[in-house]
Structure 1
Amino acid sequence: MADDHTVVRQGIVALLSLESDIEVVAQAEDGVCVVSAATALNPDVVLMDLRMPGGGGIAATRRICSLLPKCRVVVLTTYDNDQSIVSAIEAGAIGYLLKSTSTAELVTAVRSAMAGRSVITPAVSLQMARRRAGGAASSLTPREQEILALVARGQTNARIARHLGIGEATVKTHLLSVFRKLGVSDRTGAVMAALSSGVLPLPE
């Protein structure tokens, strides 16, 4: 368990120690100490804070995953921004949890990580989904965005065609392109993806 805040670290250790199938073998307060402890003890799971002295959690995660391929690193942090999430996953973390996670969820996450299953808190999953949708949505052409905005207003293909002065078949072709780029299969899915990614403004 790695965290530079003693109260937080010891509190989590105390909770995990109540579980008969979980043994906390070491605590660390910085990036250097957690790498040293992990290489010495070869634990199944490391719970890793991100913002710590000694290089921080990302560098420590990368080092541990490189030295101990079978060790599972689960990030436990207060930060849910895109950069932190992406950096942790790219460094080799199998999971990403927020410190607002409940005790039951944390215990389940540790067991899942031990079994080699990815563990990501729902809030982070939503953040990642929005990021992926945003990346896909950014590839929409101006015409595709224009048509999607009209779809969001409940316009039919025929009405969109008349409004834009193009053929209905052209509208369908543009929508098929939108579906492909956003990874959806229908108009509703396309609108929801565009709303969640910010390409379309939320209705007032």
Structure 2
Amino acid sequence: MDRIVVADDHPLFRAALRSAVDKAAPGAEVVECASLAEAKAAMVAGPVDLLLLDLKLSDSEGMAGLAAVRAEQPTVPVAVVSASEDAPVVRHALGLGAAGFIPKSSSLPQMVEAIAAILAGDSWAPDVPEADDDDPAGRVASLTPSQLRILEGLKAGRLNKQIAFDLGVSEATIKAHLTSVFRKLGVHNRTQAVILAKSLDPS
């Protein structure tokens, strides 16, 4: 029997996703979570066949939650659920390893189709135009999970020593990572990195 975790902080939308899961995978066990922490706990508690992850949760916003889950549970397929349908956001999520991207504007039949496809081992996402070589989402997607967490720290206005404490590493390690982060993003300083990262935040 499939075990599917639904992580969304809006009860009504969780109910909509549960309805889609019931149709796509009849009999599946559905674990509803309102935060990233609850979703992580559910994944530790037992095998998970699919995580439906909202990009905006009380304890996670943007791609940080997706990156954290992919780093900690690399074998669990993750379908991002988002109010945004912007092409850079879709490409960014898929670039970070999401198995699918389901816009919240999708009809129930579309959600059912998406969930069934991902459970079958396929990917599913709305059609978006190809990225050009200078696509910011592609540059951010090239970051490692650790580098992405550092970038999220920069966006939050945290100092190097604070980010180092958050990640349990030395401040020197953060400085070394920042050099790589700036190079991959094609920027020269923290301010430019933050501006680029915020341009990709789902609205």
Bin of the TM-score, shorter chain as denominator length: 0.5 to 0.7
CA distance change for structure 1 residues 15 and 97 in 2, over 3 Å: closer, same or farther?
closer
Matches within 5 A, 1:33-52: 33-52=38-57
Q: What is the CA–CA distance in structure 2 between the aligned matches of 1:98 and 1:67, rounded to whole Å? A: 24
Matches within 5 A, 1:4-83: 4-19=9-24, 21=26, 23-56=28-61, 58-83=63-88
SS in 2 for 1:97: strand
Whether 2:132 is the aligned partner of 1:132: answer yes
SS in 1 for 2:113: helix
Runs of at least 5 residues in structure 2 that lack an aligned partner in the other structure: 1-5, 136-203
CA drift at 1:9: 0.8
Larger Rg: 1
1:45·1:74 contact (CA, 8 Å) conserved in 2? yes
- Residues 7-61 of structure 1, C-alpha deviations (whole Å, 9 max, x = no match): 1112321342245535143111112211221222231111111111112362222
Q: Which has the higher contact order (CA 8 A, sep 6+)?
A: 2
Q: Percent identity?
A: 22
Matches within 5 A, 1:83-162: 83-121=88-126, 125-126=127-128, 128-129=129-130, 131-132=131-132
TM-score by length of 1: 0.55
Q: What is the CA–CA distance in structure 2 between the aligned matches of 1:22 and 1:61, rounded to whole Å? A: 26
SS in 2 for 1:26: strand
| 84-93 or 47-56: bigger deviation | 84-93
CA drift at 1:64: 2.1
Number of equivalenced pairs: 130
- Extract structure 1 runs of 4+ deviating beyond 4 A: none
Normalized per residue, the structure richer in helix is 1
1:112·1:118 contact (CA, 8 Å) conserved in 2? yes
SS in 2 for 1:25: strand
- Residues 141-182 of structure 1, C-alpha deviations (whole Å, 9 max, x = no match): xxxxxxxxxxxxxxxxxxxxxxxxxxxxxxxxxxxxxxxxxx
- Residues 105-162 of structure 1, C-alpha deviations (whole Å, 9 max, x = no match): 21121121112211002xxx23x43x43886xxxxxxxxxxxxxxxxxxxxxxxxxxx
* CA RMSD, 1 decimal: 2.4
Normalized per residue, the structure richer in strand is 2
CA distance change for structure 1 residues 111 and 62 in 2, over 3 Å: closer, same or farther?
same
